[in-house]
Amino acid sequence: MSAKPKVTANFSSSGRGESAPLNNSGFKEKPVRIREATPDDAGAVIALLERLYAETSFLLYEPGEMKSNVEVYARRMAEGIEKGNWTMFIADCDGSLVGTLFGSRGNAKRTYHSLTVGIGVLRANWGQGIGRSLLGAAESWAKARGVHRLELTVRTTNHRAMALYERVGFEWEGVKRHSQLVENEYVNEFLMSKLIAV
């Protein structure tokens, strides 16, 4: 059996830093690189999101619900990056995307210190440290920009994701009751957050 490949990151404060090894469990097959997405990645990101929505009900959108034009999506990415209030990290496995994390800052001055994140990893790549690495990249991005609070929601039945969030320092804050309607059934979400020193 070959040695575990290194996972690298590319998320300096400018978003264009040098690659560096991440401290995680490694990946089973091909090396995976965590990097900040650019507008050039829009088509691949849309394709990844469509695959994620098709294979799990834990994410916000249903299969086929998200209708995205590549040019429009790329433009939105560019605007968010330019304003500094949005980011996306992707897990790139030999040119194929296997996971992503997006983050959006609050729009008001009173909430600009907070970054809401959403994350998804293809089922075939679960348990390989990708989620932890994506969250680490988001936290590094946040620290470099003076963000003090990371927050997310997670379905109360998504025990695997909750365990990951707890391992990296997120804490429960409360329950969003009947926050989603999934297959004609109302479901609850936990609100979780992590405060980081800036």
Question: What whole-number distance in Å separates Cα of residue 192 and Cα of residue 172?
Answer: 4
The CATH class given to the 8-144 domain equals alpha beta
Q: Output b/e per residue, 131-145; b: 16+ Cβ within 10 A.
A: bbbbbbbbbbbbeeb
DSSP string over 26-93: --SSS-EEEEE--GGGHHHHHHHHHHHHHH-SSSSSPTTT----HHHHHHHHHHHHHHTSEEEEEEEE
What is the distance between the alpha carbons of residues 191 and 195, in angstroms, rounded to a whole number? 13
Series of mean pLDDT values for 10-residue runs along the chain (198 residues): 40 36 47 95 95 90 81 94 94 94 94 96 94 97 96 95 97 96 94 94
Report pLDDT for 77: 94
Predicted pLDDT of residue 8 = 46
Amino acid sitting at position 57: S
Q: How far apart are CA 87 and CA 59, in angstroms?
A: 18
Helix or strand run (H / E) with residue 165: helix 159-167
CA distance 55 to 144: 34
The pLDDT value recorded for residue 63 is 81
User: Domain ranges in the chain?
Assistant: 8-144
Say how far residue 167 (Cα) sits from the centre of its chain: 16
